[in-house]
Structure 1
Amino acid sequence: MELSTLVTLISIGVTILFMLGVPVFLVIAYWVLGTSIALGQPLVNIGTALSDVFTDGFALLAMPLFILTGDLINRAGIARRLSDFAYACLGWLRGGLAMAAIGASGLFAAISGSNSATTATIGSMLHPEMVKGGYEPRFSAATAAAGGTVGIIIPPSIIFIVYGFIMNLSINDLFIAGIVPGAMMVLAMLITAFIVSTINGWGYLIKLDPVRVLKTALGGWLGFFAIGLVLWGIYTGKFSPTEAAGVTVGFCVIVGFVCLPIYKMMNIDEERDINERGFSEMVVVRGFGPMELPAITMRSAQITGILAPLIAISVVMQQNLSSLGAKEVIENFLIGMGGYYPVLFTAMAIVFVAGMVLESLPVTIILAPILAPIAASVGVDPIQFAVVFLVGASIGFITPPYGLNLYVASGVTGVPYFRLLRYSTMYLVSLIIVWFMVALFPSISTTLLPGGGTYETLQSIFGSGAAV
């Protein structure tokens, strides 16, 4: 049997397995195993490649640490305090609570680096409040799902770490390049939430109270300090991304062990006003003790145990795709499209379609090594393309039929998956507009980088040791 026929049959077989619900890791592993046999490669190569990923990938150590950070800040109550601050700032606008959910997602993402953690945390906290405040449950759940998309764009970002590792790019530069596009995504979703809520008359308006804003800002200072710590360390070059992740974990552990239990004893958390928030239960925010830390760490380890093998086996998949000539086929197709913009827009279309059926991690691992060199060959800056690629991958989180964030939001809110699509589509449109703006104007991604226009100003603020 010819190699092409055999590979086609293997691909059809694993596609059927994927449609039947077999985990993505096993689907890719079966494909790698089958194609390795078809190519006549020794199976020991698979084990060697997997070993090399984990022994040589120092940058990947940041991934489990940022996952742990997300769990720690959630358990420590920092996420709740950030959401209170966001509502105090935005609650005077129509749809203020929905906008607060999106704003809190951006703040949470700036510490955790995970889209699913952002969606699950903000959705579980604010969905009940939005429903009690008169919002349509489908809109509330869709807002949580859409807000989570910035989890992989606003630094620190787990997927930026993976992309930088695979493509041998500076993870520091990738983090910095994601700041402005991430902020634009948040702003676009805030506008969408305001327009939809205004049309439907949703949301209870509260008075803009500077005292309340200041009080919630002081209550959330630990979260702001964590965000500033990560960005300062990375931007000034004081920390590598891996070191920044370790420092942030240490900070969150100290917060959980010391600061927040003190807050609880001082009874800083107060009962909320039912007339302002639509609910009256006491929200008790506490830290965690040393005996609870192993359980929190184990949960993070379970997530890491899902992602790390997928990264490793996908690296082997890249090697097999290269042996099969897939890169050359796609390269010839894209180059045949023409120049800079035809190649860029076609690559974006490929990422968008792939995001409809795959999670961002396999999309990145499979397509980035193929598409990025082609984009570079027509003059697209590698950092710019990385941001365009990953903004497209983030949009896939609310794109059916896969849409991981839609599933997560459905799980934490109880709203059926397909009932979310009406309102998630509105957010999807606004995010696609931002995506094309990022693609058309490279300065959006590069303005904070060295030589990008504002780098020197920020360097003078943060210090002179910024890594380039």
Structure 2
Amino acid sequence: MTDGTLVTLISLGVTFLFMLGVPVFLVIAYWVVGCSFVLGLTLDNMGAELLNVFNKGFALLAMPLFILTGDLINKSGIARRLSDFAYACLGWLRGGLAMASLGACGLFAAISGSNSATTATIGSMLHPEMVKGGYDERFSAATAAAGGTVGIIIPPSIIFIVYGFLMNLPISDLFVAGIIPGALMVIGMQVACWIICRINGWGYLIPLQLNRVLKTAFGAWLGFFAIGLVLWGIYTGKFSPTEAAGVTVGFCIIAGLASYLITRLLKLRQDKTWEEKSYAEQLVVEGFTLFQIPGITMRSAEITGILAPLIAVSVVMQQILSLLGAQQVIGDFVTSMGGYYAVLFTSMVIVFFSGMVLESLPVTIILAPILAPIAASVGIDPIHFSVIFLVGASIGFITPPYGLNLYVASGVTGVPYFRLLRYTVPYLIALISVWVLVSLTPELALALLPDR
């Protein structure tokens, strides 16, 4: 058999494994090893390339730190306080609690940088409250899934770190470029949420009270401080992304320990519900001890242990695709579309459909090195294109058949996966509308970058 036939058979085989639910890392690794043998590459070469990725990957050090940050802010109670503030601000609107959950996703994303962590944390906290508040359980779960899409756009973002590492772009610039598009994604989803809730009459209204807003804002000051610390440090150049991640981890550890100590001092009764606690008790109802930190760290390390090898093996996959001419074929196809807008929308279509079957990480690793140079050749700013690319990839989190956030939301809420799909449609429309707007308006991504 020819090399092309063997590669085709290997590709079909790993596709079948992917459909059976084999982890993406193993699917890509099997493909890389099989194609390496077909092309006459040695396993020593693959091992050397894997090691080289991590030797050059100083920027990747921020990834495990931001993953740890997401776990710490959940355990410390910061996420709950941010959610309470969002509800105090939006509860007077029809669908206010659902809109607040979307706002809380944006605030949580501004510290954690993870889509799945955002969906899991906000979904587990607010889904029961939404169901008790008269919302359809399927809509509530779909709202948590959709809100998690901003986890990789609002800085700090783990996927922006990967993109910047692969394309040799300043990660701090990528972070800043994601601020306005991420905020627009949240606002767009909140508008869609308001319309659906108004049509169906979902949600109970609470009066807009200044004292409630101020109290919850005071209670959430730790979260606001953490968000401001990250954005200020990166925007002013005081911190590199890795340093910002380290500083945020340290702050969250201190906040979590302080919360636990205050809780112990107040001697809270464990049988009280959240609503029965006084506001002072609500501020400190969560926290962790020094003995719990190793467990939290281990969980974050496990997630990093999944992502880091996937990045490394996908870089080797790029090299094999280049040897096979796949990058050239895709590049020629996109280039043949014509000028600026043709290349732009062709790239968006490719990213969208790729996101339907792959997670954002392999989509980024496989397609960004192919599409980004073509986009640059027709005059699309590299930072602007990175935002376009990753907003499109984030939409894939709620598009079947993959839809990672749908699986996460289903897991934390108990609502079956297929029952969520109908209620993601309004959010998909909102996100695609924002995506097109950001694509056609470079200023939305570049306005906060003074040198562009």
> Could you state the TM-score of these two structures normalised by the residue count of structure 1?
0.93
Work out whether residues 331 and 370 of structure 1, in 8 Å CA contact, stay in contact via their aligned partners in 2: yes
Is the contact made by 1:261 and 1:286 (CA closer than 8 Å) also made in structure 2? no
Q: Residue 150 of structure 1 corresponds to which residue in structure 2? A: 150
1:227 has 2:227 as partner: yes
Change (3 A) 1:147 1:296: same
Q: Residues of 2 paired with 1:361 and 1:271: CA distance?
A: 40
Q: Kindly state the Cα deviation for residue 373 of structure 1 after the two structures are TM-superposed.
A: 0.7
CA distance in 1, matches of 2:289, 2:263: 14
Q: Which amino acid aligns with 1:290?
A: L
Q: State the Cα distance separating 1:43 from its structure 2 match.
A: 1.4
- For 1:188 and 1:181, how far apart are their aligned partners in 2? 10
Gaps of 5+ in 1: 275-280, 453-468
SS in structure 1 opposite 2:302? helix
Supply the distance in 2 between the matched residues of 1:25 and 1:259 (Cα, whole angstroms).
38
How far residue 135 of structure 1 moved from its aligned partner, in angstroms, is 0.2
Letter in 2 for 1:224: F
Unaligned 5+ segments in structure 2 are none
Aligned length: 446
Find the counterpart in structure 2 of residue 6 from structure 1. Answer: 6
Q: Deviations over 1:363-397 (max 9, x none)?
A: 10111011111111111111011000000000000
Q: 2:235 and 2:261 mapped to 1: Cα distance?
A: 32
Q: CA deviation at 1:261?
A: 2.7
Classify 1:283/1:139 alpha carbon distance in 2 versus 1 (closer, same or farther; 3 Å).
farther
Instruction: Tell me which residue corresponds to 1:166.
Output: 166
Distance 1:224 1:283, change over 3 A: closer
Map 1:58-457 → 2, pairs under 5 A? 58-262=58-262, 265-266=265-266, 285-452=285-452
* SS at 1:161 equivalent: helix
Give the residue type in structure 1 aligned to 2:72.
L
Tell me, in whole angstroms, the C-alpha distance in 2 between the residues paired with 1:302 and 1:59. 19
Q: Tell me if 1:35 matches 2:35.
A: yes
**Residue identity in the other structure for 1:119:** T
Q: Is the CA contact 1:90–1:100 (under 8 Å) kept in the aligned structure 2?
A: yes
Structure 1: distance between partners of 2:392 and 2:406: 16
TM-score for both structures, normalised by structure 2 = 0.96
**Alignment-derived partner of residue 50 in structure 2:** 50
Identity %: 75
- The answer on whether the counterparts of 1:50 and 1:316 sit within 8 Å (CA) in structure 2 is yes
Question: Aligned in 2, Cα 1:283/1:223: closer, same or farther, shift over 3 Å?
Answer: closer
Q: 1:259 & 1:218 partners in 2: Cα distance? A: 14
Q: Aligned partner of 1:38: which letter?
A: V
Partners of 2:431 and 2:365 in 1: CA distance? 23
Letter in 1 for 2:91: G
1:272 Cα deviation after fit = 5.4
Q: Are the structure 2 counterparts of residues 342 and 180 from structure 1 closer, same or farther at C-alpha, using a change threshold of 3 Å? A: same
Query: Once the two structures are superposed, what CA deviation does each residue of 1:332-378 show, in whole Å capped at 9, x if it has no partner?
Result: 11111111111110111011111000100011011101111111111
SS at match of 2:291: coil
Aligned to 1:455: none
Is the counterpart of residue 25 in structure 1 residue 25 in structure 2?
Answer: yes
Q: Which amino acid aligns with 2:12?
A: I
The AA in structure 2 aligned to 1:331 is G
Q: 1:79·1:223 contact (CA, 8 Å) conserved in 2?
A: yes
Distance 1:329 1:359 in 2: 23
Letter in 1 for 2:107: L
Q: Deviations over 1:204-258 (max 9, x none)?
A: 1000000000000000000000000000000010000000000000001111112
Give how far 1:268 is off: 9.8
What do residues 140-184 of structure 1 show as CA deviations (whole Å, max 9, x unaligned)? 000000000000000000000000001100000000000000000
- What code does the residue aligned with 2:418 have? F
CA drift of 1:282 comes to 8.0
Query: Is 1:257–1:287's contact at 8 Å kept on the other side of the alignment?
Result: yes
Q: Which residue of 2 aligns with 1:461?
A: none
Tell me how far apart the structure 2 counterparts of residues 268 and 437 of structure 1 sit (CA, whole Å). Answer: 49
Q: Tell me by how many angstroms 1:273 deviates.
A: 5.0
CA distance in 2, matches of 1:264, 1:226: 24
Distance 2:221 2:266 in 1: 17
Q: Is the 8 A contact 2:177 2:448 kept in 1?
A: yes
**2-structure distance, mates of 1:338, 1:24:** 34
For residue 228 of structure 1, what is the amino acid of its counterpart? Answer: G
3-state SS of the aligned residue for 2:288? coil
**C-alpha distance in 2, partners of 1:431/1:236?**
30
Secondary structure of the 2:208 match is coil
Distance 1:92 1:260, change over 3 A: farther
On the 8 A contact 1:264/1:285 being kept in 2, the answer is no
For the Cα contact (< 8 Å) 2:259–2:284, is it kept in 1?
no
Change (3 A) 1:268 1:81: farther
Contact 2:91 2:97 (C-alpha < 8 Å) held by counterparts: yes
Which SS does the other structure have where 1:292 is aligned? helix
What residue identity is the alignment partner of 1:235? Y
Q: How many Å separate the matches in 2 of 1:267 and 1:348? A: 55
Residue 155 of structure 1 aligns with an amino acid whose one-letter code is P
The answer to whether the 8 Å contact 1:94/1:198 transfers is yes
- Looking at structure 2, the residues matched to 261 and 190 of structure 1 have their Cα atoms a distance apart, in angstroms, of 37
Q: Which secondary structure does the structure 2 equivalent of 1:352 belong to? A: helix
